[in-house]
């Protein structure tokens, strides 16, 4: 909280009135999200176009598109009332105070520990050096996983293609999200341990969930029905 | 060259300080109108004394040793220091005690907008007044404080912290699963909740109650909806809530209050009614509170008690967004 004037201007919420704001994930979850919105009867034509716009006003809703990992940030602060993002993001940012309302049952993928195919450097490092070096975009998930399984690891936080790290010797293995497993195979990596299975989730801001209950519940119920 | 300050702390400059001061005075004035006298306690206490009141309370941010090797801690809220103060200083006096405060507190949180490690709490404690009358009185003070801050649109959520503990005992869930279900309820993970309930070997009807109950929030009609779901624990909780709500009606402030069967706060010491405060202009909760009828007993003076605390800085942000001059 810096200068309050600046803060207020930057995140003004139109006093919590107006249409419900729904934060949507760009990227791999986007196609499934558009399908879901179609089933629920939300207009997605503009979203599907090649517009560079980030905010779309459709009948009774404001749709805001962003990186999946930003969705909890916007929803927690109330800049969006509802949001869709992957469970992997919610697990990594587990201290965000948001309501997790629905498993949307698409965008299914696995969080795995992978190492180089036909190479024992993962096990070797653990045995001889006392810890593995693991590259990941999910450092907190990785740390918790090793803690839970009673092992030590040096977790290396990377932002781009994680598969690169074991290929050039930055790490012994990676922890990453796997959909079909093709990227792993193309980089001569193979799954060694499965950590969890994740899918897309619907989340809500704490205050919106209380103060806009009727309209929020109505939309959530429509979404629930379309996913069951 | 700049000189750093610890993460989650900040300096306040005159323009903001002037407005915070005005807001503080308005709040303390409102508290005093209802007979709540302002107190101050030390910012640092013995860690063992704070821990006595709160086994799984707000996370303490700073602990350190003094020169004689005693372990000290910065308070994470004012409720426990005031429980200690009442037990120590008013040991021979007749309750009820009406106290208010405006004080800095410290929590080990990830610093971000709306959540600092050092923050100011403005609140009241009413010690020695049982439910429902004590609860009603404190909600009346809370509504008056929000009005004094110019936040006429703010809403007070009212729930019951005993509901799920009793409900899970009633349906007979083993202790491990019980703790996990309560945790999912407190973190409001409804997907996790459904998964835990499935694992806990409950009947479909029992699961249905536990999934639907936390979604009930609104006017007095939600009490009827809750009762229809059935169960002894639900019956008792709705009766407690209805008694409080009737009291609020008599005071003419029922329209400020939203009943919420999904309301759960993560502090360990709450018993019975729990409160949360929202403003439509702000995505963060403005404050909260509730009954802590067992806390005073841990300090050797068993008395029913209830209170609330508002985050001063968040109230100020809400004022700015609501256009309160």
Cβ of residue A106 closer than 8 Å to a chain B Cβ: no
Residues from chain B that touch A100, judged by Cβ atoms under 8 A, are 188-192
CA B161, B166, B167, B173 dihedral sign is positive
**A164 CB near a chain B CB, below 8 Å?**
no
Contacts of B111 in chain A (CB under 8 A): none
Angle at A59 between CA A58 and CA A63, to 5 degrees: 35
ipTM of this complex: 0.88
**Matching CATH number, A109-196, of 3.40.50.10440, 3.60.20.10, 3.40.190.10, 3.60.40.10:** 3.40.190.10
Residue B137: how many CB atoms within 10 A of its CB?
Answer: 21
- Residue B240, both tokens: 């407690």
- Asked if the C-beta of B325 comes within 8 angstroms of chain A's C-beta atoms, the answer is no
Q: Which two tokens stand for residue B59?
A: 């996370």
Domains within chain B, CATH numbers bracketed: 29-161+265-325 (3.30.930.10), 167-243 (no CATH)
In sequence order, what are the residues at sequence separation of 6 or more whose Cβ sits closer than 8 angstroms to the Cβ of residue B245? B158, B220, B223, B254, B257, B259
Give residues 246 to 285 of B whose Cβ lies within 8 Å of A.
258, 260, 276, 278-285
Reported residue count of chain A is 228
What beta strand segments (E) does A81-209 contain? 82-86, 98-103, 109-116, 132-136, 153-157, 173-178, 189-198, 200-205
Q: Which residues of A touch B191 (CB under 8 A)?
A: 100-103, 201
Task: Measure in Å the smallest separation between the Cα of A10 and chain B Cα atoms.
Answer: 11
Pick the CATH number of A4-108+199-227 from 3.40.190.10, 3.30.750.80, 3.30.70.2700, 2.60.40.420: 3.40.190.10
CB contact under 8 A, A8 and B320: yes
Instruction: Kindly report, as residue ranges, where domains of CATH 3.40.190.10 are found in chain A.
Output: 4-108+199-227, 109-196
Partner residue opposite A1 with nearest CB, options B13, B114, B258: B114
pLDDT in tens, A197-228: 999 999 999 999 999 999 999 999 999 999 98
Asked if B320 lies within 8 A of A208 by C-beta distance, the reply is no
Chain A contact for B54 (CB, 8 A cutoff): no
Residues B114-144 have pLDDT tens digits of: 679 999 999 999 999 999 999 999 999 999 9
Q: Check CB contact under 8 Å for B215 and A11.
A: no
- One digit per residue, the tens of pLDDT, for chain B of length 325 reads 889 999 999 999 999 999 999 999 999 999 999 999 999 999 999 999 998 887 666 788 899 999 999 999 999 999 999 999 999 999 999 999 999 999 999 998 877 666 799 999 999 999 999 999 999 999 999 999 999 999 999 999 999 999 999 999 998 888 889 989 999 998 899 999 999 999 988 888 899 999 999 999 999 999 999 999 988 999 999 999 999 999 999 999 999 999 999 998 765 678 899 999 999 999 999 999 999 999 999 999 999 999 999 999 999 999 999 998 7
* B321 in A contact zone (CB under 8 Å): yes
CB-based contact (8 Å) between B218 and chain A? yes
Does A206 sit within 8 Å of B188, measured CB to CB? yes
CB pairs under 8 A between A and B: 91
Distance CA B178, CA B200 (A): 8
CA A60-A96-A27 angle, 5° bins: 60
Is B190 touching A (CB cutoff 8 A)? Answer: yes
Are B41 and B125 in contact by the 8 Å Cβ rule? The answer is: no
> Shortest Cα distance from B78 to chain A (angstroms)?
22
Smallest Cβ–Cβ distance between B278 and the set A17, A201, A210 belongs to A210
Partner B, chain A 204-223, Cβ-Cβ below 8 Å: 205-211, 213-214, 217
Q: Which of B114, B258, B283 sits opposite A13 (nearest CB)?
A: B283
Burial annotation B18-50 (CB, 10 A radius, 16+ → b, else e): ebbeebbebbbebbeebebeebeeeebbebebb
**Chain B residues with CB inside 8 Å of A18's CB?**
none
Could you tell me if B279 and B286 are in contact, meaning their C-beta atoms sit under 8 angstroms apart? yes
Q: Is B128 helix (H, G, I), strand (E, B) or coil?
A: coil
């Amino acid at each position: 909280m810096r200068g309050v004037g600046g803060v207020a201007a930057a995140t003004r919420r139109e006093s919590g009135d107006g249409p419900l704001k729904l934060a949507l994930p760009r990227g791999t979850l986007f196609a499934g999200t558009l399908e879901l919105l179609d089933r629920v009867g939300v207009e997605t034509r503009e979203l599907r176009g090649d517009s560079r716009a980030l905010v779309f006003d459709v009948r009774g809703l404001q749709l805001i598109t962003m990186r999946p990992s930003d969705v909890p940030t916007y929803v927690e602060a109330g800049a969006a009332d509802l949001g869709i993002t992957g469970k992997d993001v919610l697990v990594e940012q587990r201290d965000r105070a948001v309501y997790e309302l629905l498993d949307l049952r698409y965008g299914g993928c696995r969080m795995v520990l992978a190492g180089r195919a036909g190479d024992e450097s993962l096990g070797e490092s653990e045995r001889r050096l006392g810890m593995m070096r693991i590259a990941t975009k999910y450092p907190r998930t990785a740390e918790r996983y090793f803690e839970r399984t009673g092992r030590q690891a040096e977790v290396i936080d990377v932002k781009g293609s994680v598969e690169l790290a074991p290929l050039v010797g930055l790490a012994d293995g990676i922890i990453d999200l796997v959909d079909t497993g093709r990227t792993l195979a193309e980089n001569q990596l193979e799954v060694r341990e499965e950590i969890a299975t994740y899918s897309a989730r619907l989340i809500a801001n704490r205050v919106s969930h209380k103060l806009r209950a009727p309209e929020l519940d109505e939309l959530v119920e429509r979404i629930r029905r379309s996913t069951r | 060259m700049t000189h750093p300050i610890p993460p989650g702390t900040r300096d306040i400059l005159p323009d903001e300080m002037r407005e915070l001061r005005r807001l503080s005075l308005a709040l303390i004035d409102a508290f005093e109108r209802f007979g709540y006298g302002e107190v101050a306690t030390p910012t640092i206490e013995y860690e063992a004394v704070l821990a006595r009141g709160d086994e799984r309370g707000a996370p303490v941010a700073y602990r350190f040793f003094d020169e004689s090797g005693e372990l000290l801690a910065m308070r994470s809220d004012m409720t426990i220091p005031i429980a200690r103060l009442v037990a120590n200083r008013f040991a021979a006096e007749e309750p009820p005690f009406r106290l208010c405060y405006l004080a800095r507190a410290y929590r080990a949180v990830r610093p971000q907008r709306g959540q600092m490690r050092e923050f100011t709490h403005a609140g009241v404690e009413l010690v020695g007044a049982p439910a429902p009358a004590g609860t009603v009185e404190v909600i009346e003070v809370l509504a008056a404080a929000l009005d004094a801050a110019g936040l006429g649109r703010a809403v007070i959520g009212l729930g019951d912290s005993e509901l799920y503990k009793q409900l899970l005992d009633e349906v007979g869930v083993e202790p491990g699963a019980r703790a996990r279900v309560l945790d999912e309820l407190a973190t409001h993970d409804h997907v996790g909740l459904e998964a835990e309930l499935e694992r806990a070997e409950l009947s479909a009807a029992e699961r249905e109650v536990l999934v639907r109950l936390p979604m009930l929030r609104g006017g007095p009609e939600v009490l009827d909806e809750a009762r229809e779901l059935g169960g002894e624990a639900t019956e008792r909780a709705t009766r407690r809530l209805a008694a409080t709500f009737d009291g609020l009606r008599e005071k003419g402030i029922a329209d400020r209050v939203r009943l919420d069967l999904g309301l759960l706060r993560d502090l360990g010491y709450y018993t019975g009614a729990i409160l949360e405060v929202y403003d439509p202009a702000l995505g963060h909760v403005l404050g909260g509170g509730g009954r802590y009828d067992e806390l005073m007993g841990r300090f050797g003076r068993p008395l029913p008690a209830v209170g609330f605390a508002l985050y001063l800085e968040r109230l100020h942000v809400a004022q700015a967004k609501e256009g309160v001059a």
